[in-house]
Amino acid sequence: MLTGLDNIHVLADLEGLARAVAERVIELARHNIEATGRFSIALAGGGTPRHLYTLLASAEFRGLTDWNRWQVFFGDERCVAPDHADSNYRMARETLLDHVPIPAEQIHPMVYDPSAPQEAAAAYEARLYRHVDRENDMPVLDLVLLGLGHDGHTASLFPETDILDVRDRLVAAVHVEKLQSWRISMTYPLLDHARHICFMVAGENKQRVIRDLHDGRRDPLYPVERLSPQGTVEWFLDELAMGDLR
């Protein structure tokens, strides 16, 4: 269980948050490429990471890593076509992936056919087994970037959905009633085994969930609290999300 908030970095604003995470991503990429020749990362969706991806693709950061060694995955995806305005893949492609020389076969969108969510989830699990180094037959991602919803969801692990109980699959499809839409998401077993997790949380509307996580008195637990990370976790927050907790 993810108890409390440890390893927190509070940045003045979204720009500062993006810069701090970009520096960590480059550092982790360098470390893993030196150690294994590869760097596997799961990108987060939503709005907060946009600035990070744009910064990583900028002249200031683009030259700081060997993109040829990257394997890019997604922590979750909306069940829409890859070119749909709501697609996390499209957002990452427009802000980062179209601007850096990662070989196309090393970029792994989650959804190709939005009409078949279960099949997309099963195909993605097979893709992870094929392209990610394993420990005890579990694919171990070097870095997972995660956002946090004001309801305590992360990736597409939303409250009161059946994906929260999935323990026998690494990726699953989930119908999110309150969004009236299907999502594909990495599940707890896979996320828990990541070597490193960076949470990125910005904005005043996250103050309540951050305070609750800090106090650790939630019942029922937020979905994010049901993570049991085996690796290291860092929280990158802006001052708005931190509120008066400082």
Binding residues for ligand 6PG, rule: CB under 6 A, are: 44-48, 76, 88, 147-149, 153-155
* Integer Cα distance of 147 and 44 in angstroms: 6
Closest approach of ligand 6PG to the CB of residue 61, in Å? 20
Output 69 or 210, the one with its CB closest to ligand 6PG.
210
Least distance from ligand 6PG to the Cβ atom of residue 26, Å: 21
Ranked by CB distance to ligand 6PG, the top (closest) residue is: 147
- The residue (of 56 and 65) whose beta carbon lies closer to ligand 6PG is 56
Contact 151, 158 (CB under 8 A): yes
CB of 206 to ligand 6PG, least distance (A): 7
Helices (H), 193-242: 207-215, 239-242
Tell the residue number behind the tokens 């993570």, with chain if given: 227
DSSP secondary structure letter of residue 107: B
Minimum distance, C-beta of residue 51 to ligand 6PG, in the bound complex (Å): 10
The CA angle 198-179-237, to the nearest 5 degrees, is 25
Q: Which is nearer to ligand 6PG, 69 or 91 (CB)?
A: 91
How far apart CA 129 and CA 209 sit, in angstroms, is: 34
* Closer Cβ to ligand 6PG, 76 or 225, answer by number: 76
